[in-house]
């Protein structure tokens, strides 16, 4: 699985907004500085997040960005989809659209299972979970799985 820098930046930027008070906003420069994200890149990301109705923006004095709804109601999957599109794609197609023959005929099942596992984690994890570190039992189970914290080499 590959998480793009764009998705990583979007989640980190939204985490910065999640710790603000209900009526507070933060300027893109402040978010970029706090989260160590290039401002030009962040401006484009915020554009996608506004379009997806995950954040709101206000111009002028007291302006900036804020979450469009409570952090507990924004999943990490929502954010990834807003900036990168579907969670899983195989050669630019949905996993169920892949068709294989011969020895790899069952490979579509692997791609479907992978998408389902990603959904289990990314849809079950809210922005609030990230900010507080309080993850669901399912996510905690994945974190505690044998080898979860070890990188495997080829």
DSSP-based three-state secondary structure for 109: helix
Write down the mean pLDDT value for the chain: 92
CATH architecture of 5-144: Orthogonal Bundle (1.10)
pLDDT of residue 94: 85
Residue 90 has pLDDT above 90, yes or no: no
Strand partners, 66: 56
Per-residue pLDDT averaged across 83-101, rounded? 87
The token pair at 93 is 């197609």
Statement: the pTM of the whole predicted model exceeds 0.75: yes
Residue 80 has pLDDT above 90, yes or no: yes
pLDDT of residue 126: 96
pLDDT of residue 135: 95
Mean pLDDT is highest, among 43-52, 105-114, 115-124, for 43-52
Q: How many CB atoms lie within 10 A of CB 116?
A: 12
pLDDT of residue 87: 83
Task: Name the pLDDT band for 152 (thresholds 50, 70, 90).
Answer: confident
Residue 63 has pLDDT above 90, yes or no: no
Contacts with 122 (C-beta within 8 Å, 6 or more apart), sequence order: 75, 76, 77, 80, 87
Per-residue pLDDT averaged across 73-83, rounded? 96
Q: What is the dihedral of CA 145, 147, 153, 154, to 10 degrees?
A: -50
pLDDT of residue 154: 66
* Secondary element (H or E) of residue 57: strand 55-58
DSSP-based three-state secondary structure for 75: strand
Q: What share of the chain has pLDDT > 70, as a percent?
A: 99
Instruction: Give the pLDDT confidence of 4-25 residue by residue, as tens digits.
Output: 999 999 999 999 999 997 788 9
């Amino acid at each position: 699985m590959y998480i793009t820098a764009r998705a990583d930046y979007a989640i980190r930027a939204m985490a910065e907004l999640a710790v603000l008070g209900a009526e507070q906003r933060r300027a893109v420069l402040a978010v970029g500085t706090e989260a160590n994200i290039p401002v030009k890149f962040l401006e484009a990301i915020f554009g996608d997040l506004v379009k997806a109705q995950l954040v709101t923006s206000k111009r002028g004095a007291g302006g900036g960005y804020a979450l469009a709804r409570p952090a507990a109601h924004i999943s990490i999957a929502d954010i990834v989809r807003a900036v990168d599109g579907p969670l899983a794609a195989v050669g630019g197609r949905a996993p169920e659209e892949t068709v294989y023959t011969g020895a790899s005929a069952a490979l579509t099942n692997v791609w479907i299972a992978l998408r389902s596992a990603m959904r289990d984690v990314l849809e079950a994890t809210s922005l609030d979970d990230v900010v507080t570190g309080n993850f669901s039992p399912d996510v905690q189970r994945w974190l505690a799985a044998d080898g979860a914290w070890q990188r495997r080499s080829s």
